[in-house]
């Protein structure tokens, strides 16, 4: 039976694959960058490494993983760790671009620029999340269940608010977050941020 369960060691390859297959505004990003591995090294694997207790997966009937939600309770602390510990070990694979010529350059500039306070949402909404579902699970309520599961875990941890940032071109996701009670927040070009009190 398809079910939500906590992340466990060994799920990382599935998380990386799901991240890649949904990274292009919800569509498959295979081949979009020079190195497909970059997506997961920035957007999901550090979350599983730092806060595995706030990562949940959707396990399918055959024991595979077809969706996940990954959160952190304190964005500022997480971004400090990402900047000081996670990225220095991984970033050596991808030197910092001097200028942005490609989409990969832009993502690397973002990764190298991460740090506490880079986003203004942390005061009211200290937690943040990433969520991705393969197409076979979409439209069946799994996204809502994953968010409810993470919100419960964060609430039990005493976290007062949660934010996320979505690609502004992912119109389905934008409508989905508003239906779940997330409020649009002032955002940078190309993205839309949302916040929700817990």
CATH code (residue 21)? 3.40.630.30
For residue 129, being part of any structural domain is answered with yes
Closest Cα to residue 16, out of 35, 44, 52? 44
pLDDT at 190 (0 to 100): 85
The domain tally of the chain equals: 1
Question: Which pLDDT score is estimated for 118?
Answer: 73
Q: In the chain, which stretches have pLDDT less than 50? A: none
Give residue 173's pLDDT: 85
Output the pLDDT for position 26: 86
Residues belonging to the chain? 198
Measured distance CA(33)–CA(40) in Å, rounded? 12
State the number of CA atoms in the 13 A half-sphere of 71 facing the CB: 29
CB-CB contact of 177 with 105 (8 Å): no
Q: What is the pLDDT of residue 117?
A: 79
User: Is 173 inside any structural domain?
Assistant: no
Q: Is residue 62 part of a domain?
A: yes
User: Residue 61: inside a domain, yes or no?
Assistant: yes
Q: Are strands 161-167 and 127-133 parallel, antiparallel or unpaired?
A: parallel
**73 within domain boundaries:** yes
Instruction: State the pLDDT at residue 119.
Output: 73
pTM for the full predicted model: 0.94
Cα–Cα distance measured from residue 150 to residue 131, given in angstroms and rounded to the nearest whole number: 10
């Amino acid at each position: 039976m398809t079910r939500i369960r906590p992340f466990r060691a060994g799920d990382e390859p599935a998380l990386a694959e799901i991240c890649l297959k949904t990274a292009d505004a919800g569509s498959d990003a295979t081949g979009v960058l020079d190195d497909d591995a970059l997506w997961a090294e920035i957007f999901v694997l550090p979350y599983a490494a730092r806060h595995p207790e706030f990562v949940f997966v959707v396990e399918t009937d055959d024991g595979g993983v077809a969706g996940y939600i990954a959160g952190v309770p304190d964005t500022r602390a997480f971004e400090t760790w990402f900047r000081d510990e996670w990225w220095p070990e991984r970033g050596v694979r991808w030197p910092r671009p001097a200028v942005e010529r490609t989409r990969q350059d832009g993502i690397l500039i973002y990764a190298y620029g991460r740090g506490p306070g880079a986003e203004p949402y942390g005061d009211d909404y200290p937690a943040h999340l990433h969520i991705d579902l393969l197409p076979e699970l979409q439209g069946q309520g799994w996204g809502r269940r994953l968010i409810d599961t993470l919100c419960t875990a964060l609430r039990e941890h005493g976290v007062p608010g949660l934010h996320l940032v979505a690609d502004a071109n992912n119109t389905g996701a934008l409508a989905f977050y508003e239906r779940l009670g997330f409020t649009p927040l002032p955002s940078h070009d190309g993205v839309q941020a949302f916040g929700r009190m817990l």
